[in-house]
Structure 1
């Protein structure tokens, strides 16, 4: 499945956000892959961030990462940089943005 998400970075923290993503810890990428993601891409337009995640089971991916220590630390770090951490239905949501059109 492919899941699209939208988040927002704080305008004064864009450089920090991009720097963090140039150095994502291998432990985190390993955990994300082990949780079931096969790909995760983030695009930025101004302060808007658009994520595309490819995985078999998005709800399962979230559940497997929820208490993983490396992910918990990363989410705390991202929480300092983001205005909107998730706008796809809130905590416990199991789907991303709704598909409007696809070719």
Structure 2
């Protein structure tokens, strides 16, 4: 499954956010693998962040991450850069983005 997400960076935190994503904390790669998160890409345009997550079951993975110590430490650190808490799927600053169109689907019709 692929999930697209949107979040926003606090004004003035753009470069720090990118710097701090050069390496995620020890344990997070293993947590993602354990939970079936195969890839997570983030693009930035100004203060807007666009995420593409490839995973087995996004909602189940996010529920499990709520109980993960490595994730708790990472969220406490990285959320200092975000305009709101990144609870993907809820709230005004980090939301799931609905799919509108794909070229692949167009080719099938």
TM-score (norm 2): 0.82
Show the counterpart of 1:41: 41
Give RMSD over aligned pairs: 1.9
Tell me the residue number matched to 1:69: 69
**In the TM superposition, what is the alpha-carbon distance from 1:26 to its structure 2 partner?**
3.3
Measure how far apart 1:46 and its partner are. Answer: 0.5
Query: Who wins on radius of gyration, i.e. which is larger?
Result: 2
Q: Structure 1: which 5+ runs fail to align?
A: none
Whether the 8 Å CA contact 1:7–1:87 is kept in 2: the answer is: no
> Deviation at 1:13?
1.1
1:27 aligns with 2:16: no
Count of aligned pairs: 100
| Runs of 4+ residues deviating >6 angstroms | none
SS of residue in 2 equivalent to 1:7: strand
Q: Is the 8 A contact 1:6 1:86 kept in 2?
A: no
TM-score (norm 1): 0.86
Equivalent pair of 2:4/2:51 in contact (CA under 8 Å): yes
Unaligned 5+ runs, structure 2: 104-109
